[in-house]
């Protein structure tokens, strides 16, 4: 038996330690430790509700749009505001641009080096690379130039942005052709520009990125013009074309070489989504990607409505003070201890709380959203998942998505769905502006109330809770997607979703557990 540790887990946004017990080449137990105390809940107290929009975004530099929207929705719920339809469309477009930016960044910049070896690209035949790209239906690039760039890095002894990926690890697919490695490296570089295009959409509509300025309580302060709308539509079209013609074909080309990852890394089998991208009703149950909870172990792939009232947060294995445990976030507290108790996998080992939905350890994220949408019969999602399962040789078996490879595929498939919808919303906004009479903002009128903003970040289910008294915030609580996924054990010793996903995974080299890194990064913590 060996202890295998990755500390820190690299190529993520945050501070994370993964510790695994490995026996006979398989992980038998795992502990995931969040190493950062944010404390934004305390920062919010005593401030005006409108200030929370700006502060909440600082929780994350990759998904600030979602935090801004969830915070604004909490204020609007607390103060009894219904935003105009124009603001709904604007928020959908800004949120979609962030999803596109985040998912492209995740697959190429953060996760690709778990599956693609840039050094292997040096063995590729350039003519064969073009032929393979055509056969795979993916876009071409100047592959010879890219290969020479990698050659210069390797010969110079400095792999630059490709450093630290255990590129000599036997866990890379031995039968994946060098030409596919070269294609992926070329698209890795292209992705840097394409994700920037999505960011520019946010900058146009939000004033700047990453921390935008316009989705204030009451609607939006952004006023569209014909020139700005044309700019937004052009950039969204460019991103959408690249996703469809590069990202999705790349996913389908690489996935078969890691088909064993359909058999492990599934986690708890419980999934939760609050839903994202509002329709005109603004109802949580009526979103483009809908609300839902799925409990695979007990009921198979069936979905039920998700209820924020069923959340409870536990801190028995967290470094936070234990005075209040098992509370719903509406009444929650976030208090650090007076003295740091130390890291102990048998006791306290993480700053993260352990949120549970209806008492269950529950995964959130693109996989959860895609499973919920599939079961809700959302047609673009259902059609795309069915065709992907067929290409993976798993037609009619959506349950195989509950795996490491399924989690990776779900995020990329969601990118395609959101890319299509982003154009729909852009054209909807153009038509609304041309038609005239569209409203974008309603002012605040009340100064007391309790509210919540239940939304989705690219990483998963996100909730902000706000209690306003006398025009100031009396209490504020946040449950981020990563809090769900990296949660430590709860009061009953039940593992969090990422911990459970690690158990049962193969490990070829305990000193370099690339398999554990793949699983951790598949959650995009």
What is the torsion angle, in degrees rounded to the nearest 10, for the CA atoms of residue 289, residue 246, residue 195 and residue 277? -10
* Structure confidence by residue, pLDDT tens digits, 394-440: 888 888 999 999 999 999 999 999 999 999 999 999 999 999 989 99
Whole-number pLDDT of residue 254: 97
Domains of the chain: 2-522 (1.10.645.10)
* Structure confidence by residue, pLDDT tens digits, 312-353: 999 999 999 877 799 999 999 999 999 999 999 999 999 999
Rg (CA), the chain: 23
* Structure confidence by residue, pLDDT tens digits, 292-317: 999 976 556 789 999 999 999 999 99
Q: What angle do CA 433, 225, 96 make, to 5 degrees?
A: 75
Q: What is the pTM of this model?
A: 0.96
Question: Could you tell me which residues come within 8 angstroms of residue 163 by beta carbon, excluding any fewer than 6 positions away?
Answer: none
Cα gap 42→64, rounded to integer Å = 18
User: Which single residue is written with the structure tokens 């809770």?
Assistant: 465
* Structure confidence by residue, pLDDT tens digits, 105-138: 999 999 999 999 999 999 999 999 999 999 999 9
* Structure confidence by residue, pLDDT tens digits, 187-243: 999 999 999 999 999 999 999 999 999 999 999 999 999 999 999 999 999 999 999
Asked whether 214 and 68 are in contact (CB, 8 A), the reply is no
**Percentage, residues of the chain above pLDDT 90:** 89
């Amino acid at each position: 038996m060996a202890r295998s540790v990755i500390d820190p887990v690299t190529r993520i946004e945050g501070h994370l330690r993964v510790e695994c017990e490995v026996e006979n080449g398989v992980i038998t137990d795992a502990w995931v430790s969040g190493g950062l105390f944010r404390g934004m809940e305390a920062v919010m107290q005593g401030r005006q509700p409108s200030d929370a929009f700006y502060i909440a975004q600082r929780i994350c530099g990759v998904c600030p749009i979602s935090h801004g929207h969830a915070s604004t929705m909490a204020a609007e719920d607390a103060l009894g505001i219904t935003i105009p339809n124009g603001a709904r469309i604007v928020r959908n477009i800004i949120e979609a641009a962030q999803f596109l930016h985040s998912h492209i960044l995740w697959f190429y910049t953060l996760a690709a080096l778990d599956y693609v070896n840039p050094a292997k690209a040096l063995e590729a035949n350039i003519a064969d690379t073009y032929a393979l790209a055509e056969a795979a239906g993916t876009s071409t690039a100047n592959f010879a130039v890219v290969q020479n760039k990698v050659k210069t890095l390797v010969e110079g002894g400095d792999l630059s942005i490709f450093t630290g990926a255990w590129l000599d690890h036997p866990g890379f697919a031995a039968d994946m052709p060098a030409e596919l490695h070269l294609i992926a490296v070329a698209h890795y570089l292209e992705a840097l520009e394409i994700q920037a295009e999505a960011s520019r959409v946010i900058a146009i509509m939000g004033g700047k990125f990453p921390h935008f300025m316009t989705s204030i309580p009451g609607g939006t302060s952004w006023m569209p013009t014909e020139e700005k709308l044309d700019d937004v539509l052009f950039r969204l079209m460019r991103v959408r074309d690249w996703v469809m013609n590069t990202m999705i074909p790349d996913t389908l080309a690489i996935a078969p070489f890691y088909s064993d990852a359909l058999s492990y890394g599934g986690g708890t089998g419980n999934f939760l989504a609050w839903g994202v991208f509002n329709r005109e009703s603004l109802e949580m149950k009526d979103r483009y990607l809908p609300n839902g909870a799925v409990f695979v172990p007990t009921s198979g792939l069936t979905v039920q409505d998700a209820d924020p009232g069923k959340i409870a947060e536990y801190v028995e294995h967290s470094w936070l003070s234990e005075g209040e445990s098992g509370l719903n976030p509406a009444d929650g507290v976030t208090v650090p201890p007076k003295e740091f108790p130390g890291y102990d996998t048998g006791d306290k080992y993480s700053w993260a709380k352990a949120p549970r939905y209806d008492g269950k350890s529950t995964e959130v994220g693109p996989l959860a959203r895609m499973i919920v949408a599939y079961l809700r019969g959302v047609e673009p999602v259902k059609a795309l998942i069915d065709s992907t399962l067929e290409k993976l040789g798993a037609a009619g078996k959506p349950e195989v998505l509950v795996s490491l490879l399924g989690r990776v595929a779900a995020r990329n498939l969601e990118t395609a769905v959101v890319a299509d919808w982003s154009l729909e919303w852009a054209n909807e906004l153009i038509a609304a502006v041309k038609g005239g009479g569209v409203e974008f903002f309603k002012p605040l009128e009340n100064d007391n109330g309790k509210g919540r903003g239940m939304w989705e970040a690219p990483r998963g289910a996100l909730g902000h809770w706000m209690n306003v008294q006398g025009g100031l915030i009396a209490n504020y609580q946040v449950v981020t997607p990563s809090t769900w996924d990296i949660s430590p054990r709860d009061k009953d010793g039940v593992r969090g979703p990422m911990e459970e996903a690690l158990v049962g995974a193969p490990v070829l080299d305990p000193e370099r557990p690339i398999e554990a890194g793949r699983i951790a990064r598949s959650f995009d913590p």
